Structure 1
Amino acid sequence: MKIYQFYRRQALDMKLDEAWDFFTSPYNLNQITPDFFHVSITSKVPERIYSGLMISYKIVAVFGLPMDWLSEVSHCDEYKRFVYEQRVGPFKFLSHEVALTPLDKGVVMEDIIFYVMPFGWFGRLFHRLLIGRKLNQIFDTRRDYLHARWGSPE
């Protein structure tokens, strides 16, 4: 079993509370992802996330095929970090941590993702041919959107 790791870091010219409110809202996912990755929330979501919160989605990500996804907020250290873990979805395992660190001006946002593809050697091949590239596209779009909206601190 191969465990993949993905890491991104970005400094943004925004206040910590603004960053927390933006990144913890699942309703902002479609703003920060490319058009091929559409997310529809199918469960009730409170105004504030908390550890143990389950969120269900319909996702259209690869080949235009809709799929169900269920994630749990497994960790939530307010204004510091939160972790979404896939409970039902296309990966054998997926954990996505978003960490926020205040700067003198702005914040640093880090995405730390660990995931395992299903289907053994076929999943690893599918990752090499498509999934790895799609993951980079998703986070390139996210980086570009965030930079255009907030810029970098000086």
Structure 2
Amino acid sequence: MKIYRLHKKQNLPITADDAWNFLSNPKNLKTITPDYMGFNILSGADRPMYAGQIIQYIVTPILGLKTKWVTEITHVVDKQYFVDEQRFGPYALWHHKHFIKTINNGVEIEDIIDYKVPFGWLGQLVHPVLVKPKLEEIFNYRTKKLEELFGKY
């Protein structure tokens, strides 16, 4: 079983409170997700984030194929980090840690995603040409959008 990791860091010239208020609100995911992915929250984003929260989305990750994605917020430490885990969706495993750390004149935002692709060896075969580049593209878009919203560090 091959588990992959995507690790991204970004510095922004905002407070930890501002970063937390934006990133911990599931409704803001649409803002930092490429439009072509057709991201739409179906349920679960009507309350402030809490451990045990189930959020359901429709998303079109690749090849125009719409899929339902269900995540659970499993851990929350206010203004420091939260974890979302896929319960149903396009990955065999998805565990996404979001960290917020105060630094001089801003915050460091860190994402660590451990994931496994479905379909065994076939999924591993397409990972470097389809899945990994798509995830890199999505998180590069996220970096750009956060800089547009909050400025460059």
TM over 0.5: yes
The yes-or-no answer on 1:18 pairing with 2:18 is yes
Question: In the alignment, what sits opposite 1:67?
Answer: 67
- The 3-state SS of whatever aligns with 1:36 is helix
AA in 1 matched with 2:79: Y
Between the aligned partners of 1:42 and 1:7, the Cα distance in structure 2 is 28
- The 3-state SS of whatever aligns with 2:22 is helix
Question: In the alignment, what sits opposite 2:29?
Answer: 29
Q: Which moved more, 1:87-96 or 1:123-132?
A: 123-132
- The 3-state SS of whatever aligns with 1:51 is coil
- The 3-state SS of whatever aligns with 1:31 is coil
Between the aligned partners of 1:45 and 1:34, the Cα distance in structure 2 is 19
Q: Is the 8 A contact 2:27 2:45 kept in 1?
A: no
Between the aligned partners of 2:131 and 2:122, the Cα distance in structure 1 is 12
Between the aligned partners of 2:19 and 2:47, the Cα distance in structure 1 is 15
TM-score, structure 2 length as denominator?
A: 0.95
Post-superposition offset of 1:37:
1.8
Point out 4+ residue stretches in structure 1 off by more than 3 angstroms: none
CA offsets per residue over residues 36-85 of structure 1, 9 Å max, x none? 22211111423310011011111112111111111000100110000000
What is the correspondence of 1:101-112 to structure 2 with a 5 Å cutoff?
A: 101-112=101-112
Between the aligned partners of 1:44 and 1:128, the Cα distance in structure 2 is 33
Between the aligned partners of 1:44 and 1:34, the Cα distance in structure 2 is 21
Q: What is the aligned length?
A: 153
Q: Which structure 1 residue ranges, 5 or more long, are not aligned?
A: none
Post-superposition offset of 1:3:
0.5
Q: Is the 8 A contact 1:59 1:68 kept in 2?
A: yes
Between the aligned partners of 2:118 and 2:40, the Cα distance in structure 1 is 23
The yes-or-no answer on 1:95 pairing with 2:95 is yes
Between the aligned partners of 2:54 and 2:84, the Cα distance in structure 1 is 9
Q: Which structure 2 residue ranges, 5 or more long, are not aligned?
A: none
Q: CA RMSD in A?
A: 1.1
Q: Is the 8 A contact 1:20 1:79 kept in 2?
A: yes
Between the aligned partners of 2:33 and 2:116, the Cα distance in structure 1 is 21
Post-superposition offset of 1:19:
0.6
Between the aligned partners of 1:43 and 1:148, the Cα distance in structure 2 is 28
TM-score, structure 1 length as denominator?
A: 0.94
Q: Is the 8 A contact 2:44 2:54 kept in 1?
A: no
